């Protein structure tokens, strides 16, 4: 049976959104998250750590619809920077292993990178491409740490060594994306323009530079996160009503987008969760 790690103090308690299979069919699985210190709270959303043990068991696929965030990921003896991933992100879990990561706030990575974050979209680069030689041994130091708390301490010290100057645009972008994520009535770019006091071209440039994805994509991704959360919560859904609630003109367009990203239609996804939490994507 899959096991979810207990949540340590100071960690966000909300169920992670965008994870398509919250429960694995067999084996042990742990997922921990920890909030950053106040000194990094303007740039970092949280630290995260996953560990699994499937020794002697079949490999299992874990899939997510990623958030509009950049991650610094440590695994397999290396540290890499992952830009915003536009499609479904899937990987095979097998044997015994672990992954540690830093999830930057939307817009929070730009001050470290100092290049448009859109240049990282759907790809990854070695940590040294951003942090130089200081990142060369980061993976080794993190992976030999005694526990998750120690990993977070190492990551925090690493980021604090070259902390960028305060950038008011980061807070602006973070606030905009928080509103988009939480307010399901925001269903169009025009709705975002009304919040940000920008023209459309200025908003596009801001998102390309700081977020790494377009405003339209961000809205769609958060609305699909909402759809997936409702299905996983076991709510009785009218797909046509949900499509309208999420800003789609009709059910067909909603089903098309859902199928394209999740790999199956909403009804099929709902049935797969009931019959097998690890059904193929």
Which one has a higher pLDDT value, 94 or 192? 192
Q: Do residues 196 and 235 both lie within one domain?
A: yes
Last residue of a domain, one of 103, 127, 160: 160
Last residue of a domain, one of 132, 160, 188: 160
Predicted TM-score (pTM) of the model is 0.87
Each residue of 25-34: pLDDT tens digit?
777 888 899 9
What pLDDT does residue 40 have? Answer: 96
Q: Do residues 112 and 235 both lie within one domain?
A: no
Last residue of a domain, one of 102, 127, 160: 160
Please indicate, yes or no, if residue 6 is contained in any of the structural domains: no
**CATH number of residue 263's parent domain:** 1.10.10.60
Q: Do residues 206 and 177 both lie within one domain?
A: yes
Measured torsion, CA atoms of residues 210, 214, 215, 216, in degrees rounded to the nearest 10: -170
Instruction: Give, rounded to a whole angstrom, the gap between the first and last alpha carbons of the chain.
Output: 20
What pLDDT does residue 124 have? Answer: 95
278 — pLDDT class (breaks 50, 70, 90): very low
Q: Do residues 176 and 258 both lie within one domain?
A: yes
Range of the domain at 110: 28-160
Average pLDDT score over residue span 73-97: 90
Of the candidates 208, 214, 209, 205, the one whose C-alpha atom is nearest the C-alpha of residue 180 is: 214
Please indicate, yes or no, if residue 23 is contained in any of the structural domains: no
Question: Cβ–Cβ contacts within 10 Å for residue 219, how many?
Answer: 21
Q: Do residues 32 and 156 both lie within one domain?
A: yes
Question: Cβ–Cβ contacts within 10 Å for residue 99, how many?
Answer: 17
- CA dist list (Å): 87 to 31, 32, 167, 259: 22, 24, 29, 12
Please indicate, yes or no, if residue 7 is contained in any of the structural domains: no
Q: Do residues 146 and 184 both lie within one domain?
A: no
Q: Do residues 75 and 199 both lie within one domain?
A: no
Each residue of 190-241: pLDDT tens digit?
999 988 678 999 999 999 999 999 999 999 899 999 889 888 887 767 888 8
Q: Do residues 78 and 195 both lie within one domain?
A: no
Please indicate, yes or no, if residue 19 is contained in any of the structural domains: no
112 touches 71 (CB < 8 A): no
CA atoms within 13 A on the CB side of 16: 26
Average pLDDT score over residue span 70-95: 91
**How many domains does the chain contain in total?**
2
Chain centroid to Cα 16, Å, comes to 8
Q: Do residues 76 and 189 both lie within one domain?
A: no
Among 65-74, 107-116, 262-271, the least confident range: 262-271
């Amino acid at each position: 049976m899959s096991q979810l790690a207990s949540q340590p103090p100071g960690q966000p308690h909300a169920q992670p959104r965008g994870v398509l299979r919250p429960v694995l069919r067999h084996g042990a699985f742990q997922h921990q998250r920890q909030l950053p210190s106040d000194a990094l709270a303007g740039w970092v959303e949280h630290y995260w750590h996953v560990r699994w043990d499937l020794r002697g068991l079949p490999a299992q696929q874990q899939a997510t619809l990623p958030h509009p965030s950049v991650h610094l990921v440590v695994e397999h003896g290396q540290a890499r920077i992952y830009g915003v991933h536009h499609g479904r992100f899937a990987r095979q879990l097998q044997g015994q292993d672990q992954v540690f990561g830093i999830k930057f706030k939307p817009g929070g990575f730009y001050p470290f990178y100092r290049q448009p974050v859109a240049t990282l979209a759907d790809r990854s680069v070695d940590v040294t491409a951003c942090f130089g030689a200081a990142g060369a041994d980061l993976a080794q130091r993190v992976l030999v740490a005694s526990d998750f708390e120690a990993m977070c301490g190492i990551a925090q010290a690493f980021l604090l060594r070259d902390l960028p100057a305060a950038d008011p645009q980061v807070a602006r972008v973070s606030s905009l994306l928080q509103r988009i994520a939480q307010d399901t009535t925001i269903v169009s770019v025009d709705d975002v323009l009304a919040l940000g006091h920008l023209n459309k071209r200025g908003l596009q440039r801001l998102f390309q530079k700081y977020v790494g994805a377009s405003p339209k994509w961000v809205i769609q991704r958060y609305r699909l996160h909402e759809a997936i959360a409702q299905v996983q919560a076991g709510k009785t859904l009218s797909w046509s009503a949900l499509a309208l609630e999420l800003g789609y003109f009709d059910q067909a367009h909603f089903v098309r987008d859902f199928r394209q990203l999740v790999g199956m239609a909403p009804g099929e996804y709902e049935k797969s969760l009931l019959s097998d939490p690890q059904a193929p994507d």
